[in-house]
Amino acid sequence: MYGLMRSLLFSLPTETSHAVAMGSMDIAHALRLDALMGGARLSRGAPVSVMGIDFPNALGLAAGLDKNAEHIDALAALGFGFIEIGTVTPRPQPGNPKPRLFRLVEQQAIINRMGFNNKGIEHALGRIRQSRFKGVLGINIGKNFDTPVEKAADDYLIGLRKAWPVASYVVVNLSSPNTPGLRSLQYGEDLRRLLDQLKAEQLLLKQADGRRVPLVIKIAPDLNTDEVGLIAGSLLEFGIDGVTATNTTLSRVGVENNPLHKEAGGLSGAPLCDASTRVIKELHQALGGRIPIIGVGGIGSLADARDKLEAGASLLQIYTGFIYGGPPLVREIVEGLAQ
């Protein structure tokens, strides 16, 4: 069923096919036809407990697919153990001009330079409140395009405060390659200053309502071993609750033969898999297992999922693999990990 649907969807322009796919999923869900989509049953997964949260299974939907939290119920019905929405910014913004999303089908990859197109955090919060979803929900926050990098902390603090009442965990996205200067926040004093402010705010928010929301940092794959070690040191110093590794890559290794490889943006999918697993492994070693890792990047099979867990991830996420493999891939991984 998904194979047929995929052929139809892939014949459409990329962003149109995205909208049609999400719309079809919503309709199937509203008609209670989720079983036709071929996803996993939550009851068939292996539960895990990470960051003090109970997850029905370890496989989540990565940020970027449902930026505005408009499809949570339908996505959750496919068997994901958790859903991450966003990246959302304090104010709505259109993102980069189109075209900005490219499928490299032969390589099972995507290049995107969306640029945090989103309707703003208030819109997403409204949609979350309207949804029936009661599962684990991550909210991924970013800075607006026109907020100077020196003032990025202001945007992240707005995001953290607003997301707090509804998020199971909040992800601070420091690793999109499509917002100029953003990745510089992963390094040195800039990172330490930001983490310091975020931790102080997390403490204040917890004191105010008694509930504690874990804080997760999302990093890039384009980091060498020393850089991974330095980031790990800062995450430990400030007691960050989790780290997502990784976002998309600027590398074009493995896709040089595809004419689309020259498109600017972040590469995701199969060609990213090994680089992301390397970062997870190095991060896990540097952290000494003291901070849990959400492993993401190029997972396209149960074997890829197991590799990430072996490298040290406690939770997993997929995006590009889901575009190519659809709900049957969710079932393969969720049910396979429970064997």
The minimum distance between CB 165 and ligand FMN, in angstroms, equals: 21
Inter-residue contact 322 to 268 (CB < 8 Å): no
Q: Which of 321, 325, 326, 327 binds ligand FMN (CB under 6 A)?
A: 321
Residues 2-61 that bind ligand FMN (CB under 6 A): none
User: Looking at beta carbons, which residue is closest to ligand FMN?
Assistant: 64
Tell me: does residue 162 bind ligand FMN (CB under 6 A). no
Tell me: does residue 141 bind ligand FMN (CB under 6 A). no
Query: Which of residues 33 and 303 has its CB atom nearest to ligand FMN in the complex?
Result: 303
Inter-residue contact 302 to 337 (CB < 8 Å): yes
Q: Which of 318, 329, 330, 334 binds ligand FMN (CB under 6 A)?
A: 318
Grouping H, G, I as helix, E, B as strand and the rest as coil, residue 98 is coil
Q: How many C-alpha atoms does 75 have within 13 Å on its Cβ side?
A: 33
Q: Which of 103, 113, 218, 331 binds ligand FMN (CB under 6 A)?
A: 218
> What backbone torsions phi and psi does residue 37 show, to the nearest 5 degrees?
-75, -20
The secondary element (H helix, E strand) that includes residue 53 is: strand 53-55
CA distances from 121 to 23, 40, 117 (A): 21, 30, 12
Residue 279: Cβ-neighbour burial (10 angstroms; 0-12, 13-18, 19+): buried
Interacting span for ligand FMN (CB under 6 A) from 70-78, 89-97, 111-119, 254-262: 111-119
C-alpha angle 318/319/322, rounded to 5°? 85
The minimum distance between CB 45 and ligand FMN, in angstroms, equals: 18
Tell me: does residue 63 bind ligand FMN (CB under 6 A). yes
Distance between CA atoms of 222 and 231, rounded to whole angstroms?
Answer: 13
CA distances from 213 to 53, 233, 239 (A): 10, 22, 13
The minimum distance between CB 98 and ligand FMN, in angstroms, equals: 12
The minimum distance between CB 9 and ligand FMN, in angstroms, equals: 14
Inter-residue contact 281 to 312 (CB < 8 Å): yes
Q: Which of 50, 58, 62, 240 binds ligand FMN (CB under 6 A)?
A: 62
Q: Which of 145, 164, 319, 324 binds ligand FMN (CB under 6 A)?
A: 319
Q: Which of 25, 69, 114, 329 binds ligand FMN (CB under 6 A)?
A: 114
The minimum distance between CB 243 and ligand FMN, in angstroms, equals: 12
Residues 262-301 that bind ligand FMN (CB under 6 A): 268-269, 272, 296-299
Q: Count residues binding ligand FMN (CB under 6 A).
A: 28
Inter-residue contact 59 to 73 (CB < 8 Å): no
Question: So which residues are the catalytic ones?
Answer: 176
Look up tokens 């072996």; give the residue.
310
Residues 241-260 that bind ligand FMN (CB under 6 A): 247-248
Inter-residue contact 230 to 188 (CB < 8 Å): yes
Grouping H, G, I as helix, E, B as strand and the rest as coil, residue 102 is strand
Q: Which of 140, 144, 147, 234 binds ligand FMN (CB under 6 A)?
A: 140
Query: Which of residues 98 and 206 has its CB atom nearest to ligand FMN in the complex?
Result: 98
CA dihedral 10, 299, 315, 1 (to 10 degrees): 40
**Contact residues: ligand FMN, CB under 6 A:** 62-64, 67, 86-87, 101, 110, 112, 114, 116, 140, 173, 176, 218, 247-248, 268-269, 272, 296-299, 318-321
